[in-house]
Structure 1
């Protein structure tokens, strides 16, 4: 029997009321924000928004609850853009997804920050149980989105980013699962001098937690060679995007090289406002696992393929309910 676990990769849309309130507050406190200080009113607004999205997840019945990363204006680059030794450069576009962010330029050593740990501490206080799922950019994607002005070597920079993330994870409160988001492995795969180091970098982050670690990839299918190297990472599961890109290539990779004992299935569209009903999600789960040859899984994480940031708030909430309803029962899959 395969346990189905409903979850998401985090990065939710702000509640509608918070968008306007925070826009007004940030306009008034622009100088403080540039210097890295959030005023008490901004902190309070984010606290209230966090409470709301955590309640939405628990009300929907999700098996894993994320903090939702509502403060992450620069999406996956956030852990660097708030770092004291990183300067935020001009506006750039990540992954051709029509959203624009600031370029984090690393000008000094990536010392411990604790920014994400503080967010998770607040979420753990709200939950009071072990359903917390932490979310971070994976070390390769974070290094890919940044500009290195300090370390001087791509492999050394990847190692430094990995060490930085491991230090952040070590400060997290107890969490059941950690999702490391690695879309750059698909969209901007590493070259020959780096590809063999990616698994080592991911493993270093994974080793910093006792939680189950999922490396979630999206925006398409992984290149065969990249996937083969990724399989060397010491993690419990790899996540796959079954919405965007070549599903046949993804299934080929899994069936040719195998995968971990657990798997994450990106089966709900994180960018399309059309809400999948629970029966459709369940059918997709069954079809996908039926097409994985000669392997069954202890756990299948059923999730959206991408972050939910791109959706209107009401559509994101509806997709949470669909994910939860589709995974209420275990699944028996013939090997």
Structure 2
């Protein structure tokens, strides 16, 4: 038997009533609101939404609870866009879809800001609390550097910045490090090892289980091999977008003792049945005869901000039921 843990990569959709309320408070679109200097009324809206998102995950029976990242209008770029030494540039397409973010332009030293830690602390005492952070390599690809002026130094500075943020976190059960750029714009020779070392720096900042969640497809073979060198507890694989190549990587190069499986589509409104989710988990188990996983994190393959709120909630319910009704046979 393998322990199946229902989890998510966070980045939840903001409910429409909250969007309207925030727009009324500020007199303009919400995409312009998150600048690190929200007023009391705006902060109160985000606090209320955070509470609602936590309660909704608990109602769905998820084993890991995230704070939801409702403030992250710029998605993975958020921790930089709220930093004092970062200016926001123009609107940029977020990977290959119809979502957009404000490009962070780093103009000074990336010192600790405490922004993510404050959001986590606001959750309070919750069983199974999970932190979510962008990975250093993905942040390097989503932003521009006008301060460090060196690719390797910039990646290292981002890793140290994230490590400093994580060291201020309250106690959490799991840390999910989101690294879609490892797939979308994979590092080349030399940089693949540097990306793994940067992830190592992030993982070493916390004494808990660390999962590096990759998505938008399968990792290139060499990038996957280098990622396994990092001192992390699990790699997350996108079994929605490219299940065959993800399976090949596992069987050809191995993986960690634990694994995260992206088995729910975070970008499609079609809601998977409980049976479908279980079948996908069991298929991976049956198709990796050389692996003996201790823990399987069952999760959407991407962040969930792409979805309408009702579909998002239905997917949480299906995921929670699929993972907690019974353990999956190896």
Q: TM-score range by the shorter chain?
A: over 0.9
Q: Name 1:53's counterpart in structure 2.
A: 53
Q: Name 1:283's counterpart in structure 2.
A: 279
Question: Is 1:305 aligned to 2:315, yes or no?
Answer: no
Cα distance, 1:35 vs structure 2: 6.5
Query: TM-score under structure 2 normalisation?
Result: 0.97
CA contact (8 A) 1:131 1:176 kept: yes
| 2:137 aligned to which of 137, 140, 150 | 140
User: What are the residue-to-residue correspondences of 1:1-335 with 2, within 5 Å?
Assistant: 1-27=1-27, 33=33, 36-123=36-123, 125=124, 128-244=125-241, 246-328=242-324, 329-333=326-330
CA contact (8 A) 1:29 1:39 kept: no
Q: Note the alpha carbon deviations across 1:248-275, whole angstroms, 9 max, x for none.
A: 2111111111000000000000011111
Corresponding pairs, count? 328
Q: For residues 222 and 239 of structure 1, what CA distance do their matches in structure 2 show?
A: 10
Cα distance, 1:129 vs structure 2: 3.7
Query: TM-score under structure 1 normalisation?
Result: 0.95
Q: For residues 142 and 293 of structure 2, what CA distance do their matches in structure 1 show?
A: 33
CA contact (8 A) 1:282 1:327 kept: yes
Cα distance, 1:331 vs structure 2: 2.0
Cα distance, 1:130 vs structure 2: 3.5
Q: Which runs of 4+ in 1 moved over 4 A?
A: 32-35
Cα distance, 1:280 vs structure 2: 1.1
CA contact (8 A) 1:130 1:174 kept: no
Cα distance, 1:16 vs structure 2: 2.0
Paired residue secondary structure (1:104): strand
Paired residue secondary structure (1:101): strand
Cα gap change, 1:292/1:35 in structure 2, threshold over 3 Å: closer, same or farther?
A: closer
Q: For residues 266 and 158 of structure 1, what CA distance do their matches in structure 2 show?
A: 26
Q: For residues 55 and 61 of structure 1, what CA distance do their matches in structure 2 show?
A: 10
Cα gap change, 1:203/1:46 in structure 2, threshold over 3 Å: closer, same or farther?
A: same
CA contact (8 A) 1:91 1:102 kept: yes
RMSD of the TM alignment (CA)? 1.5
Q: For residues 201 and 162 of structure 1, what CA distance do their matches in structure 2 show?
A: 5
Q: For residues 51 and 309 of structure 1, what CA distance do their matches in structure 2 show?
A: 17
Paired residue secondary structure (2:73): coil
CA contact (8 A) 1:155 1:193 kept: no
Cα distance, 1:294 vs structure 2: 1.0
Any stretches of 5+ residues in structure 1 without a counterpart?
none
Cα distance, 1:28 vs structure 2: 5.8
